[in-house]
Amino acid sequence: LPSSFIVDSIAFANGQFVVVGFGKGIYTSADGISWTTQATANPNFPELKSVIYDGSQFITVGGTVFGSSAPPLIMTSPDGVNWTTRSWTVPQNQPETQLNDIAIAGGKLTAVGANGTIISSTDSGLTWSSESQINNNTTFRIKFYKDK
């Protein structure tokens, strides 16, 4: 990995590690030693914060450049090599946001982020919808235990 790259999250599936983080890239490795650049995120997004594997594909989420009006970044990949950007429409009444973490339970992906953002997907990350906000605070991590 480049010395300027800061790892935020790592996932492993199908004999491959996938790493995301601060440095605008997605990297893969079969052995955890030699790394290959697989995708460079949109330059408007400085950091991919979290990556998971849901049983069929990798999903990564990230943040916006502070002060920009660009939506949060969501990307999916069946193999860690070929990535597709997915969209989620930020509600008009919601301030600028970023996505910080993603988890899965019961076949439902849930991502959390700034300003009380909670979004979910039941189709392996292809489409996303907003969930009820608990408050306007930033959530940095989400975990499910025993598929709940």
The token pair that represents 80 in the structure block: 């860690």
> How far is residue 96's CA from residue 85's CA, in Å, rounded to a whole number?
19
Model-level pTM?
A: 0.83
pLDDT in tens, 114-123: 777 888 999 9
Top-confidence residue, 73 or 31: 31
Q: Which residues contact 89 (CB under 8 A, 6 or more apart)?
A: 71
Q: For residue 91, is pLDDT > 80?
A: no
- CB distance 23 to 5 below 8 Å: yes
pLDDT value of position 42? 60
Q: What is the pLDDT of residue 22?
A: 79
**DSSP per-residue codes, 5-25:** -EEEEEEEETTEEEEEEETSE
pLDDT in tens, 125-135: 999 888 866 66
pLDDT-wise least confident of 76-80, 97-101, 130-134: 130-134
The proportion of the chain whose per-residue pLDDT surpasses 90, expressed as a percent, equals 31
Hey, which bits of the chain come out as E strands? Answer: 6-13, 16-22, 25-29, 36-40, 48-53, 58-62, 73-77, 84-86, 99-105, 108-113, 118-121, 129-130
With a pLDDT cut of 70, the percent of the chain lying above it is 72
Q: What tens digit of pLDDT does each residue of 6-58 get? A: 888 999 999 999 999 877 788 999 999 999 988 665 665 667 889 999 999 99
Tell me, what's the pLDDT at 16?
A: 94
The rounded distance, in Å, linking the Cα atoms of 96 and 84 is 23
Is 60 exceeded by the pLDDT of residue 108?
Answer: yes
